[in-house]
Structure 1
Amino acid sequence: MLKDKLGREFHYLRLSITDVCNFKCNYCLPDGYQCDSERNFLSVEEIRRLVTGFARLGTSKIRITGGEPALRKDLPLIIKTCKSIPGINKVAITTNGYNLEHKIEQWVEAGLDALNVSIDSLKPDVFRLITGHDKLTSILRGLDKAHQLGIKDIKINAVLMKAFNASEFTDYLNWMRDKPYTLRFIELMQTGDNLNFFKQNHVKGEDLKKQLLDDSWSSVIRKKDAGPAQEFFHPDYQGRIGLIMPYSKDFCQTCNRLRISALAKLHLCLFTEEGIDFRPLLQSDEQLDEFTTSLQQALRQKTASHLLQDGETGITKHLAMIGG
């Protein structure tokens, strides 16, 4: 089992397969993707070996991320490869939804179990203002398709920002009343290049939590492979609400996920070090034992918490770098 010095167990891997993104979200890539690093991303064989090593150490859930993972043409093969590895019982993807309507059948056929889609506004004009794309209607059709194809675990991600979509909080709740999705509000995070934007637009997750509790929402018991969200349910709503609040007290206490970048660097936290390069140990099946041993040793370096509350963002210039 992958376990750190604080006793936290890691059942969940966020695997980035590209850092390229075709959206220009104002809180992440306002100037669009800048090709300022190596683009020799992990091959399918390297991914197979990497996920096999993690699975041998107790990882059961893989979330495929980017950038935008659907920009890789071999995404269905990557999903199928991850799903075929003994011990992996859940393969999920986080996407901006650009290709969702046209690609979801391929992903489901490949074995996809869960889907996260970013929808930062339910108003087409605001969605376009935030993302740079007029794709909201297509994304909503893609969600309906995913549900019809049998994907039961569907989550919607939204970053609330004061000057853009914070006023839509109630609109989102009303929208979720008859939809079997989990809507997750992600607290805007400071990164290396967005300090002024962060100061102008940060909405406190704790304020949203208070509003939910005041409106009779109740907490959901957390599963061992769950992500960082605190989830809430209400008897009058078919869907659930999740809050991801990295600035809340003890946010890191229940950390159960690790991150691998598209270049095979292990990141023990989204907001810390440069990453530990594991690519040399993914070149043959004979290296798997060495890989798993090195992985266990690396966990000893994991710290108790990030220092976001002190304004320290580590190497993270923007959230597309290592999969958010």
Structure 2
Amino acid sequence: MYGTSCEKFPADEPVSNMLVDSFGRKHTYLRISLTERCNLRCQYCMPAEGAELTASPQLLSQNEIVRLANLFVSSGVNKIRLTGGEPTVRKDIDDICLQLSKLKGLKTLAMTTNGITLAKKLPRLKECGLSLLNISLDTLVPAKFEFMTRRRGHDRVLNSIDAAIELGYSPVKVNCVVMRGFNYDEICDFVELTREKPINVRFIEFMPFDGNVWNSKKLVPYSEMMDILVRSGKELQRIQDHPTETAKNFRIDGHQGTVSFITSMTEHFCAGCNRLRLLADGNFKVCLFGPSEVSLRDPMRHGADDSELEEIIGAAVKRKKAAHAGMFDLAKTPNRPMIHIGG
């Protein structure tokens, strides 16, 4: 009833053959994980015992990140999102943003953050070209926050959301992973955040990754979330989405902000996928849920020139599958913890 098709790509997005897969999908969006480290220990992201982190010398340096980003942007990528771990724990985050924002052809420099230390860093990050912001928050109840993240800081996340609004970010996107038995009862409360503020609440279906004890019973399908809002009396109006949009977006009468649903499990959007991932250790990943990775760090450190790197990237993109495995197959597919892959 609420679905949408994402099967056609805009013809006016010029990209090199390196970024076009065998199904004709043009990849203009690159997610770069800056670090595997995080100042939270979210249960759906990291195993309780923690995750073994890559040694610092094996992570991409600032110069390596910028070199690879420039290679992608010069080939047609027009949006970069910085992720982690938690990207703000990286000490050179300002310089990375400044250099990336100067890349010719880049239209959007975004970041996904947990918001713990964001408020004090955001003014400088905005000066350095950060143009779009997603802040993760899975509960409006402080005690639940501490249970889920195994850390304190709920009030700091809320302060960061307000700080972003004050600095003019519009909308401020708030990512909420919905889990039955945890925050299922807060869906309507999250929607209320959008009433008076330019906030886009993004409800995300719970997804399986190594160590997060995924259980299909925890999954709250998009259709069920919609039913909850409709029964509560919310009048949702569908927004026309870009063909590569991962979210199903809605306006609500009387609300300044908007509500979105990311339906990775129940209504995948693989046909319109334009995303690629560069991990903190320099591995290149063409699908969030696919186990296949190829190193760009190693050939780069062994002297590969840009044309050789482009060949490696292009070959990986051409191997991208038409769609990820089904929901239950994904749960059995080996994949790294989300802390390694990047949000």
Normalised by the length of structure 2, the TM-score is 0.87
Q: CA deviation at 1:194?
A: 3.3
Residue number among 164, 176, 179 corresponding to 1:158 in the alignment: 176
Is 1:323 the counterpart of 2:306 in the alignment? no
Is 1:100 the counterpart of 2:147 in the alignment? no
Is 1:26 the counterpart of 2:49 in the alignment? no
Pairs aligned (count)? 322
Aligned to 1:15: 32
**Matches of 1:26 and 1:54, distance apart in 2:** 33
Residue number among 8, 11, 22 corresponding to 1:5 in the alignment: 22
Residue number among 262, 284, 288 corresponding to 2:280 in the alignment: 262
Report SS of the residue matched to 1:321: helix
Is 1:204 the counterpart of 2:239 in the alignment? no
Q: CA deviation at 1:51?
A: 0.7
Contact 1:190 / 1:308 at 8 angstroms: preserved in 2?
A: no
Contact 2:41 / 2:149 at 8 angstroms: preserved in 1?
A: yes
**Matches of 1:259 and 1:170, distance apart in 2:** 33
Alignment of 1:296-311 (within 5 A): 296-311=314-329
**Matches of 2:165 and 2:36, distance apart in 1:** 27
User: Structure 1 counterpart of 2:339, which letter?
Assistant: A
Aligned to 2:3: none
Instruction: Report Cα offsets for 1:9-56 as digits up to 9, x if no partner.
Output: 111101001111221112222526433544321111101111111011
Report SS of the residue matched to 1:86: coil
Most deviating of 148-157 and 212-221: 212-221
Most deviating of 63-72 and 210-219: 210-219
Report SS of the residue matched to 1:85: coil
Report SS of the residue matched to 1:115: strand
**Matches of 2:330 and 2:47, distance apart in 1:** 21
Alignment of 1:264-303 (within 5 A): 264-283=282-301, 287-303=305-321
Q: CA deviation at 1:224?
A: 5.6
Q: CA deviation at 1:213?
A: 6.0
Instruction: Report Cα offsets for 1:153-199 as digits up to 9, x if no partner.
Output: 4210111111111100111112221110110011001223334x423
Most deviating of 209-218 and 183-192: 209-218
**Matches of 1:281 and 1:205, distance apart in 2:** 42
Aligned to 2:156: 138
C-alpha spacing 1:153/1:80, structure 2 compared with 1 (3 Å) = farther
Contact 1:12 / 1:225 at 8 angstroms: preserved in 2?
A: no
Contact 1:20 / 1:33 at 8 angstroms: preserved in 2?
A: no
Contact 2:193 / 2:199 at 8 angstroms: preserved in 1?
A: no
**Matches of 1:15 and 1:213, distance apart in 2:** 37
Report SS of the residue matched to 1:27: coil
Long gaps (5+) in structure 2? 1-14
Q: CA deviation at 1:6?
A: 0.9
User: Structure 2 counterpart of 1:47, which letter?
Assistant: I
Q: CA deviation at 1:7?
A: 1.1
C-alpha spacing 1:285/1:270, structure 2 compared with 1 (3 Å) = same
Report SS of the residue matched to 2:339: coil
Q: CA deviation at 1:280?
A: 3.5
Normalised by the length of structure 1, the TM-score is 0.92
Contact 1:49 / 1:282 at 8 angstroms: preserved in 2?
A: no
Report SS of the residue matched to 1:320: helix
**Matches of 1:56 and 1:86, distance apart in 2:** 7
4+ runs of 1 displaced by more than 6 Å? none
Report SS of the residue matched to 2:133: strand
**Matches of 1:274 and 1:80, distance apart in 2:** 31
Aligned to 2:5: none
Is 1:217 the counterpart of 2:236 in the alignment? yes
Most deviating of 103-112 and 146-155: 146-155
Report SS of the residue matched to 2:174: strand
Identity of aligned residues (%): 32
